[in-house]
Amino acid sequence: MELTKKFVKHKNPCVDGFRWFLRHYQEGSDYQPLLDALVAAGRVDDACWLLTQFGPTESVLTVDAIEAEAMVFAGTLVVQGNIDVGSVLRAGRSIKAGGGVRAGHSIIAGENIQSAGSIRSEGMVDAGGDIKAGWGIEVQGNMRCGGDLRADWDLLCGGDLLVAGHVFARADLKVEGLLRCEKTIRAGGAIDGRDRIWAGNGIESGATITCEKHLEAGWGIKAKEAIVCNGAIKAGESVQAIGEIQAGNGYGIYAGLNVHFDAWEASGQVHACSKPECLMSGWWGGACLA
């Protein structure tokens, strides 16, 4: 794709960025070479703006490793080893790494992010498709995933975590902001939400579920240990814990919200080591054996 002066101007670039383009590329430039030149000149924001305006390409860049201050590529990045960038890592389509992926500011992909190692960002992570890590995922800022999100170790997010598909962490799942998942949330270890936790389907933890605000699932909620919340606990079907189930002071526990109350004994059960206080709906079934 050749970007001419007229073509770029039609997108209403900032004055400073357009002046730079005219000084260096009066006759226009091919798309990816212009992105590379902008990054080399320290104009990473301009490169990201350009990619947003003109979209992804079908090109594929295959390299052994990437170690750079920033990387903006319009197609798919395929890296045999590690990716380590000081600020922005962005691909118009997918990012695939045979090792770990780290960025000092942000990791952004129009489609999938896949790493055989860990994924770490000191800022945000945003993917239009799946995000999968062979090890853990650690993000200091917000994280958005347009598909399924999977970490084969801990999944730690320092901001809001928004997922259009399923969330799975083989170990612990900890989110400092809002955790919203359109499908199922599962963790082999503990689930710790410092804000609200909401799942369109179910929530399942191999240890304790703790939540600073409201905990809500369209299907059931299940924990191998306790469920402790400072807000309300709401489940479309059953709520089960081997330990206690505790809502916040002045809040209730609601099970079976999405089934007829005549079906609570089958699909709106509540199991815990002792009957919870403020159980507002659902069928109390005693201690949970497994």
User: Domain residues of the chain, as ranges?
Assistant: 56-183, 199-290
Contacts with 206 (C-beta within 8 Å, 6 or more apart), sequence order: 187, 188, 189, 190, 224
Question: Phi, psi at residue 44, to the nearest 5°?
Answer: -65, -40
- What is the C-alpha to C-alpha distance for residues 127 and 147, in angstroms, rounded to an integer? 8
pLDDT digits (tens, 9 = 90+) for 139-188: 999 999 999 999 999 999 999 999 999 999 999 999 999 999 999 999 99
The pair of structure tokens assigned to 285 is: 């079934």
Q: What percent of the chain has pLDDT over 90?
A: 78
What is the model's pLDDT at position 47? 87
Neighbouring C-alpha atoms within 13 Å toward the C-beta of 153: 12
What is the model's pLDDT at position 213? 97
What is the model's pLDDT at position 37? 87
Strand order in the sheet with 279-281: 71-73, 88-91, 106-109, 124-127, 143-145, 161-163, 179-181, 197-199, 215-217, 233-235, 253-254, 279-281
More confident residue, 33 or 234: 234
Question: Phi, psi at residue 185, to the nearest 5°?
Answer: -110, 125
More confident residue, 108 or 288: 108
Q: Determine the longest span between alpha carbons in the chain, in angstroms.
A: 77
Q: How many CB atoms lie within 10 A of CB 137?
A: 28
Question: Phi, psi at residue 203, to the nearest 5°?
Answer: -130, 130
What is the model's pLDDT at position 289? 58
pLDDT digits (tens, 9 = 90+) for 3-51: 444 444 444 555 454 445 444 444 445 678 888 888 988 889 888 888 8
More confident residue, 35 or 230: 230
- What is the C-alpha to C-alpha distance for residues 229 and 278, in angstroms, rounded to an integer? 13
Residue type, 79: V
